[in-house]
Every structure is written in C-alpha cells, then in structure tokens.
Structure 1
Amino acid sequence: MPAAPADATSDAADAAGPSGAEPSATEPRATGPSTTESPATEPSADRAARLRTAVRETVGGLPAAFWWLWTATLINRLGGFVVTFLSLYLTIDRGYSAAYAGLVAALFGLGGAIAALLGGVLADRVGRRPTLLGAQVLTALATVALGFADGQLVIATVVFLVGLSNNAARPAISAIVADVVPAADRVRAFSLNYWAVNIGFAASAAVAGLLAVHGYLLLFLADAATTLLCAGVVFARVPETRPAAVAPAGAGAGAAAPPVGLGRVFRDRRFMALVGLTFLLALVVQQGSTTLAVTMGRAGLSTTQYGLVVSVNGLLIVLLQIPVTRLLQGRDRGPLLLVAGLLTGWGFGLTTLAGSSALAYAGTVVIWTVGEIVQAPTCNGMVAELAPADARGRYQGVYSLAWSAASFLGPAVGGLLLEHPGHGTLWYVCAVLGMVAGGGYLVLGRRVDAARRLAA
C-alpha cells in the first residue's frame, strides 16, 4: 500500500527528545550539517515511493507465462488492421453498399460465434496451446487470402473463414490467464491483458488510416505477419496450462473425471444471464467498427479522421485502464456494471448529435470507452469465478459467444437501421440497450457478490 504521510505530531515529539520536553536554551545544540531532509525533498520522495508501490501492486506477482501471453497479444493487436477497417474497405475502396458491408461483417461474426464454442471445447479437450497456435496460423492464411479476394461471394466466404479462425483463439487465451493466475489477481490480469489489446488497437488504428491511403493490401499482409509473429512467441514461450482432470469423490485411483459438456454450461443460470446481458451491450459496441465508420464517411469525414477518432478508444484504455482498475478494486460489481452499461449506451447514443465534427465524434468515443474500461475486466473476472477449473475453456467460449453473436447480428441490424429509419434511430436504440444491460448487470452483480460472501 502507499506509504502514509508523516504525522506532524510525531515529528514534534521526535524534536523534543525521549522525554517530550523541549530542549533548554542553555543546552548545547548540534552545529554540523543537518542530516534531516529538507521539507522540499520529502514530497518528491513520498511520491516516488507511492509510484513504486503502485507499479508493484499493478504488475508484480504475476507468472512469466502470463507475461509472454501478454506480449504475444500485444504483437498481434499491433497489426490488427483488417477488422477495424473492413467496412471502409468494402464501401470506399471496393464500392459496395453499406448493406453489403453489414452483411459481410455479420458473416465475420457468424464465423466467430461458431469458433467460440469450437475453440472452447478444443481448449478443454486438446489443450490451450495447440488450439491457440492452430487458430493463429489459420487466421494469418485467411487474412492474406482476403487481401487478394475478388467478387462479393468470394469476399464474403473468406471473411467468414477469418472470423472462424480468429475467434477460435479467444477461449484459449482467457483459459490460460485463468489457469496460471491466482483467483485474487485475475481481475488485475484480465485488465492488463485488455490493456495490451488496446495498446495495439490504438497504434494500429492510427497507423492503418495512414497506410490505407497507399492501398489496403498492405494492411492485410501486415496483419497476417503480426499474427504469425504472435504464434511464434506462443510456440516458444507459452506452456500448456490445461489442469489435470480430477476424479470425483469415491472413484478409483485410475478413474477419470467425467467431462463437462456444453449442456452443463448452458444450464448455469447466473452465467447465462451474464452472457445474455453482455450480448446486449456487445450489440452496441459493435457499431464502433461498423456503422460508426459508415456514418462518419457519409458526414464527409476521411478514412484518416475515422482512424484517429477510433484510436481515441485505444489511447484512453491505455491511459486509464490500470488506474481505473486500481480505483475500483474491491467494490461491488453490480453498481460498477450499471455505470458501464449507461456510459456505453449513451456514449453511442450521443453520436446522433455529432454531425460532421470529428471532435464531437471523438467526444462520444471518450464516453463509451470509459464504460468499456469498467465492463471488460469486471465481467471477465466474473466468468473466471463462475467457471469450474476443468471447464474454463467452455465457459470462456460461451462468454465469447456473446461477443461473436453480437458481431454477427450487430452489423446487419445496424446497417439496416442506418439504411432505412436513419442514423438517429440506430443511436437511440444503442442508448436503450445500454440502459437495459446496465440494469440487468446491477441485479446479477449483487446476487453473485452475495453468493461469494456467503461462500467465504
């Protein structure tokens, strides 16, 4: 903990000596140079001590496997250009309609939804490491193929394959974090991992907007290269972390534990409530990489301006994720998630007032980013808490399904709302969904926290 500031009364007592009496005027006084630090140096020393303590409490005590996974994630996200700029690529570079761009983004989400379940099962049965490596290699190959794809049907098919391979890695990554990090440190670890994701996102969004001016193929190739580099780090440094199966009580010494099927996961009511509420909020968040780009383009803003506006999201997470997590640590999760839902929903809702001002769009991004900062590590920690050790891959896969299903439906629904009722309706719907999700989170969070206190 940070060192407490020195107490003024204790300083006075020290000056008075052991008896507490002030020295007499006739007593000799020390004449050499004083060894006491001047008041001007004390605050800076105290700040340095507090900073060292904060850094130690933030990044200290986590295992090496986590940090290698963190490094691999950062490398991968530094080149994560394609998903962010897919809608702009299809509508501006290729000249397709916003409805087609929404359909293609939906196919990406459909592939991700299938992969969420498949990746979770593979992470529990085959292992975290082979699942992660296979998904990353396939993602790199599919991304290169997308850069050379031509024709609506071919592009749509390859995007589906990119979504399938890309999202298969997520359950394995989250399961590794839950495997190697103690329960007390998991929210901090998920926060740090989310921080790495957004360091990469902030950098890639800003750089990709500039690179896209010279052609989108460069973005596809760079994305594939960083994905392969990420796979290389995992292969060299991240071990297999899948827990050994524990036999049930009363079973023989050689008996194996019965496998946890997906049916058991779907019957976990509290967990599925969390998944459902997250799905609602994810529908809103998906608009940031799909319909927001189209809306800004129609308002006359350039690809570079969109890249810079969206990079505000990653930049704020880089700056605020760690201090906000420290500030909110130990607080009840229900109220935190209520605030997260309201900020996310209304942050997107205010987009309807942004007009053609890039600064106004950036202001809305600031609001919903704060909601994202609170929601992501809080919910990930709750998933790890609710999941049995031998089913972490499946639980993380089903939780990832909420985001994948939203990336499937969100762009399609958002594109239709943007094309027909208009952008005002789309952003008002986002505000309503944020309020509904926030209210549900409040009730669920209180119940989960109450159950945890009873079990303690």
Structure 2
Amino acid sequence: MNIIKIYRDAFSGLNQDIWLITVVMFVNRLGTLILPFITLYTTQEIGWTKPQAGIAVACFGAGSLAGSYLGGWLTDKIGYYKVFLFSLIGGGLAYYMLQFFTSYLALSLGLFVASTIADLLRPALYTGIRFFTNDNTQTRAVSLLRMAFNLGFIIGPAIGGVIIALTSYKWIFILDAFTCWGAAIMTYFLIKDYSHKQFENKEEEIDKPIEVKNPYRDKPYLLFLFYSMLMLIGFFQILFTVPLYLEEIAHFSTDQIGFFFGINGALVFILEMPLVQYVDKRKIIMKAMVAGSVMIGFGLLALISQSYILLSLAVFLLLSGVGEIVNFPFISTTALKRATDQNSGKMLAMTSVMFSISLIIAPPLGTMILEHYGYTVLWVIMAALCFISAIGLQSVRQYFKTV
C-alpha cells in the first residue's frame, strides 16, 4: 500500500501537456539504436581500431555540444516549439543518411551533423517544461520525461540488438530516423505551443530595470557543472567501452548486449519516480547527487572482477542505475530552478553543453585507455573521476541550499 501511495504521489499534479510530451519523447527514444552499438558497428562491421572508433564517436559528442549551444541560442530567439520540431525532422533525416557513410571522414562528419541537429532539442525541451510546470512539479516532470527516455532505452536497444542479429546494422539508422519523424508528427498535432509566453514576459520587462543573472558568471553553478561532468565521463563508458567489455570479456552477442541495456533501462524506469519523489520531498538533492557519484564509481570498480562475470555485471547495473537516478534528473532541475525567463535558453543550454563535453571526452579517453592499458586500469580511472566528482559536489553544496 505504501509503495502504491509513493507512485501515486509521484505522478499527481502533472498536467496533460507534460504527459503528452512524455509520450512524444518515448516515441523519439524508441530510436535509441545507434549510440549503444556505434562502437561495435565501427570496429566489427567497418573494421576500425578502438581509438578510431572512440574519436569518431567523440564527433557525435562534439555535434551534441554545438547543437546544445545553438539550440539554446535559437530557443531564446525564435521560441522552443519551432526548434523542437526542426530538431526532430532534421535529426531524422541526418540519422537516415548515416547508413550510406562508411569512410572514416564521412561517418565522423555525419555523426557530428546528426548530433548537432538532434541536440538542438535539449534546451528547447527543458525550456518548454518551464511553461508546463511550476516549482512544485518541475523535478517530477523532468523525472517523468526520463522515465520515457528509459522506457525507450529498454525497448530500443533490445530491438536493435535483435535486428542487427537477424538483418544488418543499416536498419538501426532507418528505424532511428522514423522514430524521430513519428515524434515530430505527434508534436505538431498534440503539443501546445507556449513559445509566445517567452516573448510576452520579455516584452513586459523591457522597460523595467531588472538584473538578469549571467549564467556564464555563475561560479557555483559552473563548478557544479564541472564536477557533474567528471561523473558523466565515467558513467558514459556504459555506452562506449562497456559494450566492448560485454563482447570481449563476457562474450555476449549483439542481442544479449541489447538485453543488457534493456535491464539497465528497466531498473531506472521502475525506481526513478519514487526515489526522485523521496529525495525532492526531503530537500536532500545535493546529498543524493554526492551519493550517486560514489555509487557509479563503485559500480565501475565491480567490473574489475572477471571471475564471477555475471555477478559483477549485476552489481554494476544496480549501482550505476541507482547512481544515475539520483544524479541525472537533479542536474536538469538545478538549471530549471536557477533559470529566469530572460536567460532560460542559455542556462539550460549550459547543462546540455556539459553533457555534450562529457560525450566528447568519454569515448576517445575510454577507448585509448582500454587500448593501451586494458580494462582494469580503465575502470579504476573512471571510478576515480566519479569519486572526485562526489568530493567536488560536496564542496559546493552550500551554494545550493534551495535544492
């Protein structure tokens, strides 16, 4: 009964717009097919070395960085809704074209362009959330969206692994494109456009001498983003070097790797809303984020043991999954709470930029360490980054008392 009440309380108070955009994002995230398999695709199908694959995937991260910055700027200029739609339509086209690129330069450039267009969506999405929610529902709205992401991440990679095993890699590019276009169609017909509120608020304030916080000079927030980035570099190994570990050390097939990602997504899907509700209600967000970074670090260290490989993977899934839950939603929530109508695009873009920089650094760093020093050194270094992140987040806690 208590568990039912926790879930009921977690979902209460969220309006119809949030539920609709959650469905749209679920459809979009069903296409999470390329990223979990890109290192396997480039090393096994095309024949690249691991460092080459890491650098190419870093181009995806660089595109994410460019898209996040450009998306924030465009959101403040033309409104979140237009940016959101363009990102889904253009991103689908870019993903579809990736199947035709096999040379190192062409695929690397293609990943950059696809990611740039696709990640215009992030600042636009979270800016839109500000108009669908209030201070009491923002964190839960972000978590509900993440539930949609994770449900898509349960189904998408599992389907992708089976499709690759039965057909070929090209179909993951095609399906990723069609999920983007499906989400765009649903957005156009189902989601209300509140972009006018952005500009109405600005017009109301145009003659008022208000002080708009410059997010680029918000030192506590910049430190917060930096320490979060260290944790993300470690965590994102789940996308880049963990699939190689599963194939080379655990001897998993592609459909088993997809199932592994499905278990991770299921864990997060089941536990996120009640855990987030618990943390948010007790105002212990920063404490939870510190604990989450520590858990992700210990999860990575669990992979060092290869004697009981399935047990090691189970510990990794549990610790990294719970660590993700008590970190990722609150990174976005912190940005939402510090943002204003005048700087929301830039503030939320900075969060997306931090994620993107992590995606640039994580693949080449991880694959290069793996190539030269092996898995044990890789997990130790990545765990160390998570522990440093925890220490850093603890040091800036005093500046985030409201969260």
Give the TM-score range, shorter chain: over 0.9
1:311 paired with 2:267, answer no
Amino acid at match of 1:418: L
Q: Quote how far apart the aligned CAs of 1:291 are.
A: 1.0
1:90 paired with 2:42, answer yes
Aligned counterparts of 1:177 and 1:108: Cα–Cα separation in 2: 26
Conserved in 1, the CA contact under 8 Å of 2:295 and 2:323? Answer: yes
Select the structure with the greater relative contact order (CA < 8 A; seq sep ≥ 6).
2
Counterpart residue number, 1:289: 239
Question: Given the superposition, is the C-alpha separation of residues 421 and 64 from structure 1 closer, same or farther in structure 2, using an over 3 Å criterion?
Answer: same
Amino acid at match of 2:248: R
- Partner SS state of residue 245, structure 1: helix
- Partner SS state of residue 411, structure 1: helix
Counterpart residue number, 1:77: 29
1:205 paired with 2:157, answer yes
Counterpart residue number, 1:422: 374
Matches within 5 A, 1:253-402: 264-299=214-249, 300-328=251-279, 329-354=281-306, 357-402=309-354
Q: Deviations over 1:2-37 (max 9, x none)?
A: xxxxxxxxxxxxxxxxxxxxxxxxxxxxxxxxxxxx
1:108 paired with 2:64, answer no
Q: Deviations over 1:290-342 (max 9, x none)?
A: 01112222223322222222222101011111121222232322211110110
Conserved in 2, the CA contact under 8 Å of 1:248 and 1:257? Answer: no
TM-score, normalising length: structure 1: 0.82
Aligned counterparts of 1:54 and 1:341: Cα–Cα separation in 2: 25
Question: Given the superposition, is the C-alpha separation of residues 178 and 155 from structure 1 closer, same or farther in structure 2, using an over 3 Å criterion?
Answer: same
Amino acid at match of 2:298: W
Aligned counterparts of 2:269 and 2:66: Cα–Cα separation in 1: 30
Q: Deviations over 1:148-205 (max 9, x none)?
A: 2122211111111111111111111111112220011111111111111000001112
Q: Quote how far apart the aligned CAs of 1:348 are.
A: 1.6
Question: Given the superposition, is the C-alpha separation of residues 405 and 116 from structure 1 closer, same or farther in structure 2, using an over 3 Å criterion?
Answer: same
Aligned counterparts of 1:84 and 1:422: Cα–Cα separation in 2: 21
Question: Given the superposition, is the C-alpha separation of residues 129 and 195 from structure 1 closer, same or farther in structure 2, using an over 3 Å criterion?
Answer: same
Counterpart residue number, 2:175: 222
Aligned counterparts of 2:311 and 2:158: Cα–Cα separation in 1: 15
**Which segment drifts farther, 305-314 or 177-186?**
305-314
Amino acid at match of 1:93: E
Question: Given the superposition, is the C-alpha separation of residues 420 and 165 from structure 1 closer, same or farther in structure 2, using an over 3 Å criterion?
Answer: same
Q: Quote how far apart the aligned CAs of 1:64 are.
A: 1.9
The count of residues paired between Structure 1 and Structure 2 equals: 397
Aligned counterparts of 1:57 and 1:301: Cα–Cα separation in 2: 40
Aligned counterparts of 2:39 and 2:381: Cα–Cα separation in 1: 21
Q: Give the aligned CA root-mean-square deviation in angstroms.
A: 2.1
Q: Quote how far apart the aligned CAs of 1:356 are.
A: 8.0
Aligned equivalent of 1:238, options 183, 191, 205:
191
1:431 paired with 2:387, answer no
Aligned counterparts of 2:140 and 2:5: Cα–Cα separation in 1: 15
Question: Given the superposition, is the C-alpha separation of residues 52 and 362 from structure 1 closer, same or farther in structure 2, using an over 3 Å criterion?
Answer: closer
Aligned counterparts of 2:245 and 2:108: Cα–Cα separation in 1: 22
Aligned equivalent of 1:57, options 9, 20, 25:
9
Identical aligned residues as a percent: 23
Aligned counterparts of 1:211 and 1:257: Cα–Cα separation in 2: 55
What runs of 5+ residues in structure 2 fail to find an aligned partner? none
Counterpart residue number, 2:84: 132
Q: Which has the larger radius of gyration?
A: 1
- Partner SS state of residue 252, structure 2: coil
